[in-house]
Structure 1
Amino acid sequence: MNFSRTLFPLTMLLLSGCVVGPDYQKPDTALPAKFSESKATSSESVALNPWWESFRDKRLNGLVHQGMAENLTVQQALERITAAEANVIIAGAGALPNVGLSAEGNVSGQDGNYLRRTSTTGASHSESKSLNAGLSASWLIDFFGQYRRQREVANASLDAAYDDVGVARLAYLSDLVSSYVSARYFQEALALNRKNLVSRRETLKLTNEIKEAGAASSLDVLQAEGLVNQTLANLPALETGFHQSANHIATLLGVPAATITSSLIKGSSQPMPRYSTRTGIPADLIRNRPDIRAAERRLQAATAQIGVAEADLYPSIELGGSIGAARNFNTRVGNLTSWSFGPTLSLPIFNGGALKAQVKVARSDAEQQYLTWKSTVLNAVEEVENAQTALIRDYQTVAAQRKVVETFDQTLVLARESYRGGASTILDVLDAERNVAESRLALATAIRQLARDYVSLNVAIGGGAEIGASTVVVSK
């Protein structure tokens, strides 16, 4: 008897230490030693790198920091952390004893007249009072680690929720800075077209003067006038582009559209980065990219879910007990106390294969999460490669386009002088003006593309993902 009393607790202790299902292993995938157009040098964490300050634009810096706390997408991601934290508590509560208290009081009675057998009428009144109270407790013993796996699922999901905030923050940075770059581009394009308008009106004036002198035809005047009207027709679309970019910036900041338009109308030069970006090596992305970390945490949660499903295949024991008391106030002896205690064994015998199918579903989900993680890693490498390749060539394009503008500016000066001297036609001047206008706009477009690719490269390596984060969560 004493041996049984000793063996039973030891058996329970050993069983409670058993955890079914596979233990999580960090995923791995083959990656190149370096990016194709950079050195094989690992970089430090870029999560706190304010890369947008490379534009040296105080207005842009102010907008970025204003939106860090106001962007609605980031706020939604932060709110999901609250739900994930609550799920951790829920998962932990399952392994704890469940205690409940209940109480019930009743009062019943009868009122009215009744007819006696002696044909006399009398009044009737009766009343009964009773009180019942009970205390119950139950504890499902976690023989096979079901609740421990559920806590692992909840903790991994919480980590993923924190990483999702970083994903939302990067999306915000990319959208805001790119929209600001576009707004300044449209302002620059407007300024260039207005400058072209002044130049083309000067050409129209010159053509009229030469016509009055008898050296130009009405066709020359009409051609010059058509170029002026064409320039005027370009302005509305550029103004629309600026206002739409400004409106989108306002939405990203969590304020109504057009709220900040007036503050952006005072234009500044197009943003152009002053510093280069260190991309590190592909393996750095696994550490720096929040979407990769979130995918890994979801893989961990899916792996733990296999253990939850496998635990349902095995027996479970629940220890339960209750104590109840009852009293009837209409009797002298009305107290009654009852109690019960004992285990309940549940053993799955036949369920049509549903439990085994749930295990297969869990294993398939884990495999899908692994493939999602691997796909996320490879997409990240591709994004960095594409952005880096584009950015290197953007600098070459901008440098070459500046020389094109200089060349066509000189060509326009020479064409006008030649036209005044009668050595060339108005078509030479108009072609020169058209070339100048197109080359200047092409330069502005190239600068915008360079800035956009700079944004894409820094977002692709995870730059700034944790700026504004109050807490750093370490994966369990």
Structure 2
Amino acid sequence: MGRLYRGSGKTMKIARSLLPLTMLLLSGCVVGPDYNAPDTALPGKFSEAAGKSAGDTTLNPWWENFRDKRMNELVSRGMNENLSVLQAMERITEAQANVVAAGAGAWPQINGGGSATASGSDGSLLKRQSTTVLADGTVIPGSSHTQSRVASGNVGASWLLDLFGQYARSRESANASLDAAYDNVNVARLAYLSELTTTYISVRFFQEALALNRENLASRRETLKLTQDIRAAGAASSLDVVQAEGLVNQTLAELPPLETGFYQSANRVATLLGVPAATVTPELIRAGSQPYPRHSTKVGVPADLIRNRPDIRAAERTLAAATAEIGVAESQLYPALTLDGTIGAARTLSAVSGNLTSWSFGPTLTVPIFNGGALRAQVDIADSVAKQQYFAWKQTVLNAIEEVENAQAALIRDYQTVAALRRLVASNEEALSLARESYRGGASTILDVLDAERNVANSRLTLASAIRSLASDYVALNVAIGGGSAIETPVPTPSPNRKVASAAAATQ
């Protein structure tokens, strides 16, 4: 007993000496590269803008600069009803659950089970048959009969120690993916804002084009009547009347395609609002003026895009997640230590009854020795994916800069085009008035009037189209700088489950 006591003392000393090493192993060392935010060389300013930062544009309701109440109402109605936005918001829930799942492995896994069984046998025996003797001496042959009942239960626990940061990197990856999910909501919202406003601009363009064509139709019918009156007076030919009639019919043929364009655009607006097509047509059937921006847009500098463009932020977070996955793959190259333990109890009720309790506890060390290079290949794959995500991030940045440059260049020249077309329309309208007066006086032919009418109609439609392009390019520029992308977007506050996962991370 003395030797046993001294041996136990040595064991305690060894345990004390190994305790710091054990704690070090339990704290683990996180393998894999630590993430650093990517960087790329950007110009100090855009080509046709002042080199001054625009600040935070994500909360700027730029569509209000059109001063169109109907547009503002539609944007507000669909902000959280657009199906693409709703899908992106639901993916936040999925990403939050992934954070919990990624952190769950760092906690001990405890499982319990139980069972109850009954068994027995019944039958006659040829030999050694049991008998029963009654009080009067009567002998009753016996039969073989056995029965037993067994109830058992067990509890097992297993804890895979995160020695090399597998779960730490998994949580890091999952949290980065959650951040990307929030940013992707803004990407979907920005796409919704872009398509809804440009589609609404198309609705108003087709209405304006229809109104102009109806005005042209009335004007050409007036010219036809004038030609018929002059022919009745003997000063015009039948050819003049036929030419005037042809222009009327041409205008009539131009109306149906414009009506089709209006209804298709109105139906698209309904779909973007998450309601069946044609449900908003009655609201839009009443004509309104073409949207025209009342204020210019502060473009800022290229560096602003890094924080204001949600697709750039999402790409950066995806890169962070991919970088963490390198550590997850690399941790598989190292040994894994698992602490396992079980406690079981059983109770037997039979001819021989009793209780039985058992337990076991001990570590299990798993060391990868030979796997044909599969584990190393997984590291190489994760590393390649991270590099691809870096290139994708850089491409997203460059595309964003190009979109801003293109939209700004177009918008500047759109203003110039609209101003010139307004002057052209005024000149053509005056020329038409002079041509009619001259035709009434017999100083010119009907062709002069018809040409003047054609010029007026074409220039008016061209002006309406130019205003449509200007408004669309204004939308494109604000979308390109990330304007309004964060309005009514859920704040990325950790859910209770995510807080649990974060607490688990803090204990590692």
Deviation, structure 1 residue 123: 6.0
SS in 2 for 1:101: strand
Q: Distance in 2 between matches of 1:157 and 1:146?
A: 17
3-state SS, counterpart of residue 335 of structure 1: strand
1:192 & 1:387 partners in 2: Cα distance?
Answer: 28
Aligned residues with identical type, % of pairs: 66
2:470 aligned with 1:450, yes or no?
yes
In the alignment, the residues of structure 1 paired with residue 141 and residue 449 of structure 2 have an alpha-carbon distance, to the nearest angstrom, of: 127
Instruction: Give the structure 1 partner of residue 162 of structure 2.
Output: 142
Deviation at 1:329, TM superposition (A): 1.3
Aligned-residue offset at 1:17: 3.4
Matched residues in 2 for 1:126 and 1:118: separation?
Answer: 15
**Contact 1:247 1:261 (8 Å CA) reproduced:** yes
The secondary structure found in structure 1 opposite 2:153 is: strand
**8 A contact 2:204–2:290 mirrored in 1:** yes
CA drift at 1:193: 0.1
Gaps of 5+ in 1: none
Match of 2:79, SS state, is helix
Note the C-alpha offset of 1:109. Answer: 2.7
> Which residue does 1:304 correspond to in 2?
324
Alignment of 1:427-446 (within 5 A): 427-446=447-466
Which of 357, 368, 373 matches 1:337?
Answer: 357
Matched, 1:170 2:181: no
Deviation at 1:268, TM superposition (A): 0.5
Cα distance change on mapping 1:344 and 1:118 into 2, 3 Å? closer
Residue 256 of structure 1 corresponds to 276
1:92 aligns with 2:112: no
* Distance in structure 1 (CA, Å) of the matches to 2:170 and 2:300: 37
Q: CA deviation at 1:69?
A: 1.4
Contact 1:320 / 1:344 at 8 angstroms: preserved in 2? yes
The alignment status of 1:52 with 2:72, answered yes or no, reads no
The whole-number CA distance in structure 2 between the counterparts of 1:12 and 1:63 is: 63
1:240 paired residue number:
260
Moved over 3 A (4+): 113-126
The secondary structure found in structure 1 opposite 2:442 is: coil
Q: Post-superposition shift, 1:3?
A: 4.3
Change (3 A) 1:174 1:410: same
- Contact preservation (8 Å) 2:436, 2:449: yes
Contact 1:383 1:457 in 2 (8 A): yes
Partner of 1:267: 287
* Separation (CA, whole Å) in 2 of partners of 1:89 and 1:358: 24
Query: Residue type matched to 1:93 in 2?
Result: A
2:115 counterpart of 1:104: yes
Q: Which position in structure 2 is the counterpart of 1:38?
A: 49
Distance in 1 of aligned mates of 2:191 and 2:273: 13
TM-score normalized by structure 2? 0.91
User: Counterpart in 2 of 1:399?
Assistant: 419
Q: Which amino acid aligns with 1:42?
A: S
Deviation of 1:331 after TM superposition, in Å, equals 4.4
Instruction: Please say if residues 31 and 331 of structure 2, whose CA atoms lie closer than 8 Å, have aligned partners that are also in contact.
Output: yes
Matching residue's letter, 2:14: S
Report the CA distance between 1:470 and its aligned residue.
Answer: 2.8
- The answer for the alignment partner of 1:470 in structure 2 is 490
- SS where residue 409 of structure 1 aligns? helix
Larger radius of gyration: 2
> 1: CA distance between counterparts of 2:473 and 2:336?
58
> What TM-score, normalized by structure 1, do the two folds share?
0.97
Partner of 1:365: 385
Aligned-CA RMSD value: 1.6
Distance in 1 (alpha carbons) for counterparts of 2:96 and 2:405? 37
Offset at residue 179 of structure 1 (A): 0.4
CA distance in 2: counterparts of 1:12 and 1:312, whole angstroms: 20
2:15 counterpart (2, 5, 26): 5
Residues 112-166 of structure 1, C-alpha deviation per residue, up to 9 Å, x if partnerless? x536469998766543211111111111111111100000000000000000000
Q: How many residues align?
A: 474
Segments of 5+ residues of structure 2 without an aligned counterpart are: 1-9, 130-139, 495-501, 503-508
AA at the equivalent of 2:367? L
SS of the residue 1:225 aligns to: helix
Distance 1:323 1:271 in 2: 75
Could you say what secondary structure the match of 1:342 adopts? strand
Compared CA separation, residues 183 and 123, structure 1 to 2 (3 A): farther
In the TM superposition, 1:282-293 aligns within 5 A as 282-293=302-313
426, 441, 444: which is aligned to 2:446? 426
Secondary structure, counterpart of 2:80 in structure 1: helix
Question: Any conservation in 2 of the 1:115–1:121 contact (CA below 8 Å)?
Answer: no
